[in-house]
């Protein structure tokens, strides 16, 4: 009987320390202000006209400011490039479990209105979280270009709090 109880306790501890705890930690690490420093296209060469989040060109997004609020999974981004329309976008975000094949997190970024209500198009973007530390974050989004996978890499650094 003691062995059965001990086995049940061990199983319970393994379940409680599972991937949901990892996701909660990732969600806490997202918290705060980030700057999108560069956007690159790994494995591709040339000049590309890429529109991100259905909003603006990749060039406009470089240098943008992002804020992630984990207690309600919302956030904002502000395009800071003076040559672009300097707007603030609103979104909800959801971290999924770790992808067993890559070891990376996947998450969903869903544009919303300023009250964080979904838009009529119900659009969202599935993004792979390649790196997430207290100071750096790298996203990779795979889209199709001429029927082949095309990777867009978003490189962030955490804003220094004063």
pLDDT confidence bin for 1, thresholds 50/70/90:
very low
Hey, what domains does the chain have and what are their CATH numbers? 2-158 (2.40.128.280)
pLDDT at 97 over 90: no
The burial of 6, by beta-carbon neighbours within 10 Å (0-12 exposed, 13-18 middle, 19 or more buried), is given as: exposed
Lowest mean pLDDT among 7-16, 50-59, 91-100, 120-129: 7-16
From the list 78, 48, 46, the residue with the least C-alpha distance to 65 is 78
- How confident is the model over 108-137, as a mean pLDDT? 82
CA-based radius of gyration for the chain: 19
User: Would the pLDDT of 52 be above 80?
Assistant: yes
């Amino acid at each position: 009987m003691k062995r059965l109880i001990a086995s049940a306790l061990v199983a319970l501890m393994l379940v409680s320390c599972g991937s949901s705890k990892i996701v909660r930690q990732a969600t806490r690490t997202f918290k705060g202000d980030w700057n999108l420093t560069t956007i690159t296209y790994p494995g591709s060469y040339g000049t590309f006209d890429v529109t991100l989040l259905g909003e603006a060109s990749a060039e406009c997004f470089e240098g943008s400011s992002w804020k992630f609020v984990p207690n309600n999974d919302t956030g904002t981004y502000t395009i800071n490039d003076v040559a672009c329309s300097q707007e603030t976008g609103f979104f909800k975000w959801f971290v999924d479990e770790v992808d067993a094949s890559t070891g990376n997190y996947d998450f969903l970024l869903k544009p919303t209105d300023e009250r964080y209500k979904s838009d009529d198009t119900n659009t969202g973007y599935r993004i792979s979280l390649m790196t997430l530390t207290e100071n750096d974050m790298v996203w990779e989004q795979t889209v199709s270009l001429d029927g082949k996978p095309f990777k867009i890499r978003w490189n962030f650094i955490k804003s220094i709090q004063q």
